[in-house]
Amino acid sequence: MTRGPNAASHEQSELDGPRAVAPPASDSSSFERRITQECTKARVRQTLSAALSGAAFSALIATLFEAGSWLAAAASAPRALALALIALGSATSALVAWMRGPRLSEHLLKFDRRLGTLEVLSAAWEAPTESAFSGALRARALRLLDQAQAAHLPRVWRKRHWSIPLLVASAVTLALIPVASVPLPMPLAGAKTVRWQHLEDLAAPLGRINLASLGEPERQHLRDLVARITALQSELSLGLPEASLQSELNRLQDTLSAELKPFTDDAESLHAAVAALSYEPLTERAARALERGDLKAFDDEMRRLSSAEERSARAKARQVLSEAQAKARQSRAGSVSRILGEEETLFETRAQLAERIRELITQLGSEAAPPAPSAARPSEARPMSGSRNAEPANTVVDEDRRKLRGLAARLNRALLGDEQDYAPPSNAELEALSRTSSPEVSQELTQALQRYGEPSPSAERHQAMWDTSRAISRLQRALGGNSLPLRDADTSARTRSQPSPGPSSAAAPRSPGNNGSHAGSTPASEAKGLQALAQANLNAGIFRGSSGESFTESPLGTRPLPGRFSAAAAANEIQGVERPAIPREYQEQLSRYFAAE
């Protein structure tokens, strides 16, 4: 709004009114700057006010959401989202207020109204440049703005904003209070409802699988399986009708059974590979393991063959494996071919590792031999402090050597194939190894043993599937009314140390060494799923189904359950009777029957 020379004013007659004289450009720009400044100030205040109003509204929504999820005991509701909603509501309101805020002319109108200036500001802003009153109006407007106080600006804090602290506090409080457990619906008469809390991850064995060794479809399939098991476990911790649980467990078992039979769609390749392996007596056991789909046993057998002491035997086994892989690939480049390929790749590596381990064991045997009194190392022979400690020190060294000899013997047997299942050294053995041998040897042997013991990807996956299947089987048996098995630690350890699983593992030949004696057996391995299952804490009312009542716990700090929740019926109850529970043993029997056929 700049003013130019007002030529018309020079032509005004004597009767004309006031002449229009352009104010100095600096005055004009300062007026515009001042007006713009005031309006921006008002706009900012309005935006802040809108942000607070948005915060109040969104806090109300958040509080209602929190209260709703709390009352509905929706533990899975994203409760933190409600708090984020407050910030989002504020930001959105501020943005909308800023974008759609009143224009300058409307700001001026509001200023006029608040100041009671009878539209002086609007007139001063809109006065045409040729108007004689423009300068006077602007001067008057500036004076009014100077006299204006903060009270004339739009208010930032309004009455409704007082609700913000209360609502935010309510929302935060509700978010922090633990959600009450989902009330169980009233089960149908005679239906059982099961709640199983503090259950460790049933899918833990699947979590051990190295995903990098799998293709994307297999990875996704595995993720889906883990998600299903996790979801079931989550529902189980909240309470689930037994029929629904049984049904889902059966479905999971079906899936796992299908996973444990990897060659159902590759029978021709399997026959070709088994025929090739069976032709050579050296690989006959491996052929049987492959034929029954026991990838873990097959992998163990191939490990044993790769560590054969005689080079000719290793070469022969390697040749047969290659031929079997070639024949399988000729038939179909499917899973059989892939698994044999994995074993072929590992074969040479394992052979080299076995050679090196033998060398190290030989070295270890010489170190573990009982030393002559004069050959005792100074550090071992010298008493630690005085003559009274000499006897205990010698005892410790002897104990370490004894362990070391035992380890060497066990590893020798494992390399010779006398051990049914290769087991890595225990911690005690490793400590003894580190104490009695040089660090280089100790470290190299430890690493070599670790790499030697690594299963093939397929075997690892097979083992994980089997472990998961067993865990679910135990759960099914527990649901059948039996007391939880494996509660005894020895039983658990014994079960875990059993040879490779599989539907027909019972038919697998037992090794001579596995005669019931604990001598040389490996310590209990970590199997959190099974151990947790063994130690699972069943709710007292888990088998109250016959009376048709539901149960739940009411932890401290959660709301008491209103009675009306007990009247609801879950939809999946109807599905619960869709599939009756089938005993695991019967399933396995059927599987064997159809597999043989």
Partner 1 sequence: MGSSAVSDVEAGSDVEAALPQVTDEIERLRKALGLELLGQEAVVEQVIWALLAGGHALLEGAPGLGKTLLVQSLARLVGLDFSRIQFTPDLMPSDITGSEVLLLDDRGSSSGKFALHKGPIFAHVVLADEINRASPKTQSALLEVMQDAAVTIGGQRYPMPGPFIVLGTQNPIEMEGTYPLPEAQLDRFLLKILVMAPELEQFEAILMATSTLARPALEPLMDKQQLARLQAWCQQIVVPRAVVRYAALLCTATRPDSELATPSVKKHSRLGVSVRAGMAVISAAKARALAAGRLQAAFDDVRAVLPAALRHRLLVNFEGQALGVTPDLMLEELLDRVSPRLLESSFAERGR
- List contacts with partner 1 (CB under 8 A): 9, 14-21, 23, 102-103, 105-106, 109-110, 113, 118-120, 122-128, 131-137, 139-140
CB of 155 to partner 1, least distance (A): 16
Let me know how long the chain is: 597
The smaller minimum CB distance to partner 1, of residues 127 and 346, is found at: 127
CB of 110 to partner 1, least distance (A): 7
- Rounded Cα distance, 249 and 350, in Å: 39
CB of 152 to partner 1, least distance (A): 16
CB of 161 to partner 1, least distance (A): 22
CB of 55 to partner 1, least distance (A): 24
The smaller minimum CB distance to partner 1, of residues 121 and 297, is found at: 121
Q: Are 198 and 538 in contact (CB under 8 A)?
A: no
- Rounded Cα distance, 55 and 59, in Å: 6
Cα angle, residue 339 at apex, residues 336 and 340 outer, rounded to 5°: 85
Look up tokens 């933190």; give the residue.
Answer: 80
The smaller minimum CB distance to partner 1, of residues 143 and 377, is found at: 143
**DSSP assignment string, 370-421:** PPPGGGS-HHHHS-SSSGGGHHHHHHHHHHHHHHHHHHHHHHHHHHHT-SSS
462's enclosing H/E stretch is helix 457-479
Q: Which residues of 265-290 are buried (b: 16+ CB within 10 A; e: fewer)?
A: ebeebbbbbbebbbebeebebbbbbb
- Rounded Cα distance, 430 and 520, in Å: 15
CB of 149 to partner 1, least distance (A): 22
Tell me the CA distances in angstroms from 130 to 5, 11, 238, 471, 551, one per residue in order: 9, 13, 81, 93, 87
CB count within 10 Å of CB 351 equals 20
CB count within 10 Å of CB 554 equals 12
The smaller minimum CB distance to partner 1, of residues 18 and 583, is found at: 18
The SS3 call for residue 301 is helix
Strand partners, 197: 537
Cα angle, residue 436 at apex, residues 434 and 440 outer, rounded to 5°: 50
- Rounded Cα distance, 325 and 537, in Å: 48
CB of 223 to partner 1, least distance (A): 53
CB of 99 to partner 1, least distance (A): 12
The smaller minimum CB distance to partner 1, of residues 130 and 553, is found at: 130
The smaller minimum CB distance to partner 1, of residues 134 and 436, is found at: 134
The smaller minimum CB distance to partner 1, of residues 146 and 310, is found at: 146
Q: Which residues of 26-37 are buried (b: 16+ CB within 10 A; e: fewer)?
A: eebeebeeebee
CB of 147 to partner 1, least distance (A): 16
The smaller minimum CB distance to partner 1, of residues 16 and 399, is found at: 16
User: Both tokens of residue 360?
Assistant: 């190290």
Question: At 194, phi and psi to the nearest 5?
Answer: -120, 135
The smaller minimum CB distance to partner 1, of residues 1 and 581, is found at: 1
Q: Are 107 and 39 in contact (CB under 8 A)?
A: yes
CB of 135 to partner 1, least distance (A): 6
CB of 91 to partner 1, least distance (A): 24
The smaller minimum CB distance to partner 1, of residues 142 and 390, is found at: 142
Q: Which of 343, 355, 288, 354 is nearest to 317 (CA)?
A: 343
The smaller minimum CB distance to partner 1, of residues 138 and 192, is found at: 138
